[in-house]
């Protein structure tokens, strides 16, 4: 089974560096700096979904989420909120849910590992 791809997008450089350090011990493929949504590979419905981590609450970040999920509905968005204290999860699901947790390296890794496949969201 392929590893989850993780794209760090829409965030300050320091947050990008901190998240990359947090993900060093996690079995995921972190895309290099400068990567874009177009670099995410297509996945089967049973494969781990692509993960996009955002650290912005600006109106452009909301638009980015919408523009990402339209062509990549299998993607899961993890958004850093409340000045880096909360990690919220957004995805396309039958019953749309937004999960939030106190942000730390373990919650980031847990959120990536528990991201549901496309198939699991609709079973």
The partner residues of 5 in beta bridges, in order of sequence, read: 29
- Specify the number of domains making up the chain: 1
Q: Domain with 79 in it: what CATH number?
A: 3.40.50
DSSP reduced 3-state for 73: coil
For 28, 39, 86, 103, 108, the CA distances from 99, given in Å and listed in that order, are 21, 26, 10, 12, 12
Q: Give per-10-residue mean pLDDT for the chain (123 aa).
A: 89 90 93 92 89 82 82 87 78 63 82 84 73
Q: Can you give the pLDDT at residue 79?
A: 87
DSSP H helix total and E strand total for the chain: 4, 6
Range of the domain at 110: 5-122
């Amino acid at each position: 089974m392929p590893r989850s791809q993780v794209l760090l997008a829409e965030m300050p450089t320091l947050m990008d560096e901190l998240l990359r350090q947090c993900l060093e011990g996690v079995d995921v493929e972190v895309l290099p700096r400068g990567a874009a949504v177009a670099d995410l590979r297509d996945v089967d419905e049973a494969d781990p979904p692509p993960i996009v981590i955002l650290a912005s609450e600006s109106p452009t970040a909301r638009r980015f989420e919408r523009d990402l999920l339209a062509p990549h509905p299998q993607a899961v968005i993890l958004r850093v909120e409340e000045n880096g204290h909360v990690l919220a999860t957004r995805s396309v699901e039958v019953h749309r849910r937004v999960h939030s947790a106190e942000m730390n390296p373990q919650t980031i890794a847990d959120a990536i590992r528990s991201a549901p496949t496309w198939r699991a969201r609709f079973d």
